[in-house]
Amino acid sequence: MANPQTVVAQGTFDILHPGHVHYLEQAATMGEELVVIVARTSNVDHKERPICSARQRRDVVAALEVVDEAILGHEEDIFVPIEEIEPDVIALGHDQHHDDDAIEAELASRGIDCTVERAEPREPGHDGELLSTRLIIDRIIERRA
């Protein structure tokens, strides 16, 4: 059984940026322990493949102070780690592509009793701050091409 108020956050976390940090800081406030599931490259099918390896992305996320543990996701079934962790809360980023109702239905079908909550968006930064890996990559290409 999970510790009281275990929160799971998940994502790709390619080229970590302030938007990622904001999401994980908000997720950490939803409970006492934050476990982050970092998507395996093979499971990233809703956007471009990550630049960094899954292990590298996991290691960078694990280095953040707000993260208690960072693990790699399951290669075939993204709900397997959630079944193992048995969290109280699944924290989604404000703009993550996931369907909250579909997640809740899948959790119920697997007998996982937890809530799904969305983090609030981060206020825009200053000096052209980029809160998207895609935008960071685009800027690199623009400036280095």
Residue ranges for the known binding site for ATP are 12-13, 17-20, 95
CB 87 within 8 A of CB 69: no
Q: Which amino acid is at 2?
A: A
Specify binding-site residues.
Answer: 12-13, 17-20, 95
Cα 145 to Cα 33, 48, 50, 135, 138, distances in angstroms: 43, 19, 20, 15, 10
Between CA 121 and CA 118 the distance in angstroms is 9
